[in-house]
Amino acid sequence: MRMQNYQDFLAETLIDQVTLQNRVAELGHELNRDYAGNDNLLLICILRGGIVFLVDLMRQLTVPHQIDFMAISSYGVNARESEGNVRLTLDLQTNIHDKDVLLVEDIIDSGRTISKVLKMLSLREPRSLKVCTLLDKSTRREVDVPIHYRGFDIPNKFVFGYGLDLDELYRNLPFIGVVDLEKFQEN
């Protein structure tokens, strides 16, 4: 597979590494305060976009916590993404009944994905269920979602890096960049 240098299609750096790390530390402080004394916290990461954020965030936590992962596909039987059909492709290994669940997400756009996931998880009767997202494209929201912890509200631009991919690549970049779609060549 040919790999383009990201500098060739980086329109702008939206959030640099230091700003990201400072904000993740602040979110960690908020969580340490809000979940103080809690020994039942479970962080759930939806693969794959949320993993970089999850790992940096958990290193800021002093409250004891477990982690688990789930994967979903946004395509339904008719393959129309806009309908927001969410299919579970990897389930949790943890029984979340009576756990304080915090869903750790990379980005919330229309809100359809997270809203389906929240419905799915609430059926399992966790003790509490909250959402922590690094990025929020709030102007794109179509479905109302409760967001308890938010890193940054961002404009309606397609972003990559820090977990977010372009054709499954560039998740490792330590900053959030905006892609120039005319310069980015899809594989």
Interface with ligand IMP includes 6 (CB under 6 A)?
Answer: no
Phi/psi at 16 (5° precision): -80, 170
Interface with Mg ion includes 49 (CB under 5 A)?
Answer: yes
What is each CA distance from 45 to 9, 53, 102, 114, 146, in whole angstroms?
A: 28, 9, 9, 11, 17
Q: Smallest distance, Å, CB 136 to ligand IMP?
A: 10
Residues pairing with 66 in the sheet:
42
> Is 109 one of the annotated active-site residues of the chain?
yes
Q: Is 77 exposed, middle or buried (0-12, 13-18, 19+ CB in 10 A)?
A: exposed
For residue 41, give both structure tokens.
Answer: 């916290």
Q: Smallest distance, Å, CB 185 to ligand IMP?
A: 17
Residue 44 and residue 66: Cα distance in Å, rounded?
9
How many residues interact with ligand IMP (rule CB under 6 A)? 15
Interface with ligand IMP includes 109 (CB under 6 A)?
Answer: yes
Q: Name which of Mg ion, ligand IMP, none residue 164 binds, using a CB cut-off of 5 to 8 Å depending on partner kind.
A: ligand IMP
CA angle 181/186/187 to nearest 5° reads 165
Residue 57 and residue 43: Cα distance in Å, rounded?
10
* Binding letters toward ligand IMP, positions 156-175, x by CB under 6 A: --xxx---x-----------
Q: Name which of Mg ion, ligand IMP, none residue 184 binds, using a CB cut-off of 5 to 8 Å depending on partner kind.
A: none
Interface with Mg ion includes 161 (CB under 5 A)?
Answer: no
Q: Name which of Mg ion, ligand IMP, none residue 159 binds, using a CB cut-off of 5 to 8 Å depending on partner kind.
A: ligand IMP
- Which residues are near ligand IMP by CB under 6 A? 49, 84, 106-114, 158-160, 164
Catalytic residues: 109
